[in-house]
Amino acid sequence: MNTSFEIPNGEETVMVELTVKEAMALSGGIRFRPESKVALNAKKKVQKVLESKMMPNSDRIHYHSLDV
């Protein structure tokens, strides 16, 4: 079964500000101690930017849609 899908605006660029250590951790070239959480923090930064780009209104609650 060959299923393909497209990511909307997949060629659009995003900006993520990382420290040198975070960039090195994401590149896979250097491993840091697990307790330093450098790679984890870098992944969270990237995830936050992607979520805000892909779902820009997800942090807002539409009160008219709530059953109160």
The pLDDT-based confidence of 59 (bands split at 50, 70, 90) is: low
For 27-49, what is each residue's pLDDT tens digit?
987 788 878 888 889 999 999 99
Tokens 């909307």 belong to residue: 8
Query: Model-level pTM?
Result: 0.67
pLDDT (average), residues 3-17? 84
67 domain residue, yes or no: no
State the total domains in the chain.
Answer: 1
38 domain residue, yes or no: yes
Handedness of CA 14, 18, 20, 23 (dihedral sign): negative
50 domain residue, yes or no: yes
65 domain residue, yes or no: no
pLDDT reported for residue 26: 87
The pLDDT-based confidence of 66 (bands split at 50, 70, 90) is: low
For 67, the token pair is 């059953």
Angle between helices 38-54 and 20-27 (to 10 degrees): 90
Domain boundaries, position 32: 20-55
The DSSP secondary structure of 16-38, one letter per residue, reads ----HHHHHHHHTS----GGG-H
